[in-house]
Amino acid sequence: MSAVPSPHREPIIELTAEQFRSRLTEALNVYVTAMGYPASTAQQRAPMWTAHVQREGWRCIGAFDDRDELIGLGYGYIGTPGQWWHEQVRRGLALSGGAAHGWLDDYFELTELHVHPEYQGGGLGERILRKLLESARGANVLLSTPEGPTRAWRLYRRLGFTDVLRDYRFTGDPRPFAVLGRPLPLEA
């Protein structure tokens, strides 16, 4: 399905934890639709996303259409030792023989960034990402994304993300992932 750019610029706002929780069903729908996952994935993710709201430095940006429906979102928080993703990446770096080079010392974890397929290709993902990172705490931002040539890859590379760890398989997922990072702040 090709992207159909909206004739106007969608409102992009920071969501409070309460606003995020009230739109959790919408957010998970955007996620499963954008990722092509079965609808049942939303039920598995809901408790995790709800718990993430409690993490230090949590921020969420939502994009809305003219009917006030959520069409894109991004969120993240400060990554710290003991968190599942942090420990997975630390283990991956150790197994690969790669040094962390300080990436895991002080970073904002870009946990989720998704745009509904009907709105992809018009720059909405980049606008959400830029707004999310403009006040993010940390010396760096880190993320993981499935390996392969996608719009997400092109976005991250265009914004200066570099390889931290490649072809890594997170526990519970057979697909290869890349961990990408870049220093903060993100330039204009």
Active-site residue set: 156
DSSP state for residue 130 in the 8-state scheme: H
Q: Tokens standing for 63?
A: 């994009």
Decide: 144 and 177 in contact? Cβ < 8 Å. yes
Cis peptide before 185 (omega within 30 of 0): yes
Q: At what angle do helices 40-52 and 24-35 cross, to 10 degrees?
A: 120
Task: Say how many residues make up the chain.
Answer: 188
**Distance between CA atoms of 161 and 182, rounded to whole angstroms?**
5
Kindly state the tokens that stand for 100. 């962390």
**Hey, what are 79's tokens?**
């990554």
Tokens read off for 102:
């300080």
Residue from 147, 140, 143 nearest 101 by CA: 140
Give the closest residue to 166 by CA, choosing from 152, 178, 154.
Answer: 178
